[in-house]
Structure 1
């Protein structure tokens, strides 16, 4: 399918917040190794923590003719596909903390999108281009409240 709308929302702040933790963990592992401590548990935990943080650094939003897809960088933790015919209503609110669904993907951004589904849990996520997303969804026949300039 050809994407009608595509956007990537990034959170560099998460990397800036986690960078000191990564450095501290690396120094701690090195220091523990130098004094002869067993560093195996630390070496087992360190890579998955890094992968999780890197995975959550960005969110991709894509709308095609049949679905709305939400994915994190690697698609390990945040991965959701919503069929457009399952959407009851889309509410777009100003401010990235202005809504929350049962499943919520929050990154600093311009607006929050809440998707109410006919079956299943509501889903919300952040967007920096609410007008374009609203227009793409309206074009596909999805009822949208808000998102207009």
Structure 2
């Protein structure tokens, strides 16, 4: 189904923070290999860490007629789908650290969206387009509190 609303929230800061660690690990693996050491344990740790960091660098938010989908870049760790009829209330607050659900996807952004569900845990995530997101959800019949013009 074609999404009505789609947004990608990225965090390049995470990559910049992790870059020195990646370079250090790569240099350590290279130095160990050149001295004849077994680098298998280092590679076993290095590759999953790289995949996890790259996966969590961006968040994709999509809304269609039936569902709200939240996915990380690769969809390995960050993955949540909420049916619109399960949503009790959506609260949109200014500032990316202004709300916290039981499941929370935090990236620097303009606003925080807290989705309160009729059953299951609440979910929160950040957005850079709170007005558009609120308008889309209201159009689909979801109760929204907040949301900036």
TM-score, normalising length: structure 2 = 0.98
Q: Where does residue 11 of structure 1 map in the other structure? A: 11
Cα distance in 2 for residues equivalent to 1:32 and 1:4 = 51
CA RMSD of aligned residues (A): 0.7
Quote the offset at 1:118 in angstroms: 0.1
Distance in 1 between residues matched to 2:94 and 2:71, nearest whole Å: 22
Point out the more displaced range, 101-110 or 42-51: 42-51
Is 1:63–2:63 an aligned residue pair? yes
Q: Which stretches of structure 1, 4 residues or more, deviate above 4 A after TM superposition?
A: none
- TM-score scaled by length of structure 1: 0.98
Tell whether 2:111 aligns with 1:111: yes
Q: How many pairs align?
A: 149
Post-superposition offset of 1:2: 1.9
Cα-to-partner distance string for 1:30-85 (whole Å, 9 max, x where unaligned): 11122222211001111111110000010000000000000000000001000000
Q: Determine whether 1:33 maps to 2:33.
A: yes
5 Å-filtered alignment, 1:37-116, equals 37-116=37-116
Any gaps of 5 or more consecutive residues in structure 2?
A: none
Cα distance in 2, alignment partners of residues 138 and 58 from structure 1: 25
Tell me whether 1:20 sits opposite 2:20 in the alignment: yes
